Amino acid sequence: MNRVYLDWNATAPLREEARAAMIAAMDIIGNPSSVHAEGRVAKGIVERAREQVANLVGIERNEVVFTSGATESATLATRGRTVACADFEHDCVYAHQAISIPTAKSGEIEFEKFDGDLLAIQASNSETGISQNNFRWAQQAWGQGAMVLVDAVQSAGKFGTNLNDLGADFLMLSAHKLGGPKGVGALCLKLGVEVNPTITGGGQEEGRRSGTENIIGIAGFGAAAEAADCDQKAGKWDALYDLRNAMEARIADAAPDAIIVGQDMPRLTNTSCFAVPGWKGETQVMQMDLAGFAISAGSACSSGKVKASRVLKAMGYDDITASSAVRVSIGPTTTEQEVMSFADAWIKAYKKFAAKAA
């Protein structure tokens, strides 16, 4: 059976550019902290990747701190700060929440004054794809010297995500969402902004994140960031809008009780989250897996847990609906035939569910 991968928001397939950069980096002997020729070659790889990542989000390369991924980046940015965020934030940010920001059923943040010193906002939600567009307004309205952390893990490389344009102080990235390797990411921070290091020791990354750099992973990250930037500018993600909408239209036509979350909101063009109340999300995932399609019932960090989606509950959906949602996320190499084959398989399973529920 030919498998169809429709879970790009969990992790994107490794890009050939990233694979080639990683293979080349494997032959580098030196430690990037060493001053000899071999060390300088290794350091050059790290700095080249730093520039590639910086270019993706429109900043200078000395504003990029390499980490093991978004979870570490979130911990680094929030350490020692009172964090305000919506309840639909990714677990890596939500774990540090001190103040809860109200959320409308549309998925929009309802801003109000708060006493914290760090406002964390997802550019785009990993489960629903719903995007926020109020970063500068939020910074001005909340004021009081608060800083802004933007989770750009899902948006970077898909639509314009520039740290300065967003008015952010921090911006989080993860390589494997861009087609890079797993286990490497970055915290981008505006010049003049500092962090309280969580990993101390040798003073790498200008003292912000000690430890010998993961040269192989960083090389892959840089190559993926550069390729993602090219794809974005070429409109490859914009082209997914019609494909995603056609799939949703087919599903809605066959399943009138299906709820398509955020259908009328700005969303990532590759993401569709929908629910048939009473049809468990994990059941759908297993049925589609047996049919040859990889989808999810939430973010990869929370999938596999039999409970209602915290994201949908934060948006005001009841437990039954929040337990019934699945996510389909596609990419530039996904074909129309793959998407429509999935829709047909899902509709076939849906009809069986509806017949039993009748």
Residue 30, Cβ neighbours under 10 Å: how many?
18
* pLDDT per residue as tens digits for the range 13-45: 999 999 999 999 999 999 999 999 999 999 999
Residues with a known catalytic role? 301
- Global pTM reads 0.94
Q: Radius of gyration of the chain from Cα atoms?
A: 21
To the nearest 10°, the Cα dihedral for 67, 70, 75, 77? 80
Could you say which DSSP state residue 293 is in? Answer: E
Tokens found for residue 311: 């994201």
DSSP-based three-state secondary structure for 16: helix
Taking the alpha carbons of 282, 286, 291, 293 in that order, is the dihedral positive or negative? positive
SS3 content of the chain, % helix, strand, coil (to 5): 40, 15, 45
Q: What is the Cα–Cα distance from 52 to 332, expressed in whole angstroms?
A: 21
Could you say which DSSP state residue 33 is in? Answer: T
pLDDT in tens, the chain (358 residues): 689 999 999 999 999 999 999 999 999 999 999 999 999 999 999 999 999 999 999 999 999 999 999 999 999 999 999 999 999 999 999 999 999 988 888 888 876 667 788 999 999 999 999 998 765 545 554 556 789 999 999 999 998 888 888 888 999 999 999 999 999 999 999 999 999 999 999 999 998 999 999 999 999 999 999 999 999 999 999 999 999 999 999 999 999 999 999 999 999 999 999 999 999 999 999 999 999 999 999 665 554 555 789 999 999 999 999 999 999 999 999 999 999 999 999 999 999 999 998 7
Residue 146's identity, in one-letter code, is A
Q: Which one, of 50, 85, 76, lies nearest residue 194 by Cα?
A: 76
168-174: long-range contacts, CB 8 A cutoff, minimum separation 24? 168/135, 169/193, 170/77, 171/57, 172/70, 172/73, 172/74, 172/77, 173/53, 173/56, 173/57, 173/70, 173/73, 173/225, 174/69, 174/70, 174/73
Q: Using CB atoms within 10 A of its CB, is residue 234 exposed (0-12), middle (13-18) or buried (19+)? A: exposed
The angle at the Cα of 11, spanning 238 to 228, to the nearest 5 degrees, equals 45
Q: Using CB atoms within 10 A of its CB, is residue 305 exposed (0-12), middle (13-18) or buried (19+)? A: exposed
Tokens found for residue 333: 């190499």
Q: Which one, of 41, 61, 63, 59, lies nearest residue 51 by Cα?
A: 61
φ and ψ at residue 191, rounded to 5 degrees: -55, 130
Alpha carbons within 13 A on the beta-carbon side of 138:
29
Domains of the chain: 4-12+236-357 (3.90.1150.10), 16-233 (3.40.640.10)
Tokens found for residue 204: 């790498």
Whole-number pLDDT of residue 175: 98
